[in-house]
C-alpha cells in the first residue's frame, strides 16, 4: 500500500501574493493631461548647453521651449 502522506503540499509562489484589487485599480488610472511627467532622453553636451542658454536668454523654462519647438515642427511637417 502506498503512503500518500496526506494532501499535496501547496507550492509557494516566489513572487509573493498578488496585489490587492484596490492597489491594482490605483496603478491603472491615467494621469491628468495637465500633470507634468518625466521625459527622459540623452542629448550631446554641446546641444544641451546651447538649448539651455537659448531658453535662459529668453527667461523661459526649457520645457516650454521644447513644447514650442515641437508644435512648430508639427505645423511645418503637417503631422
Q: pTM (2 decimals)?
A: 0.57
| Residue 36 near residue 63 (C-beta atoms within 8 A) | yes
> Which is more confident, 19 or 44?
44
Non-local (6+) Cβ contacts of 61 within 8 A are: 55
At 35, the pLDDT band (50, 70, 90 cuts) reads: confident
pLDDT score for 60: 97
Which tens digit of pLDDT belongs to each residue from 49-61?
A: 999 999 999 999 9
Which tens digit of pLDDT belongs to each residue from 11-21?
A: 777 888 776 77
Amino acid at each position: 500500500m502506498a503512503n500518500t502522506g496526506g494532501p499535496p503540499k501547496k507550492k509557494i509562489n516566489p513572487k509573493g501574493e498578488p496585489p490587492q484589487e484596490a492597489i491594482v485599480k490605483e496603478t491603472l488610472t491615467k494621469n491628468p493631461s495637465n500633470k507634468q511627467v518625466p521625459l527622459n532622453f540623452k542629448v550631446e553636451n554641446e546641444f544641451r548647453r546651447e538649448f539651455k542658454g537659448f531658453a535662459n536668454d529668453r527667461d523661459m523654462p526649457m520645457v516650454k521651449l521644447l513644447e514650442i519647438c515641437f508644435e512648430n515642427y508639427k505645423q511645418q511637417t503637417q503631422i
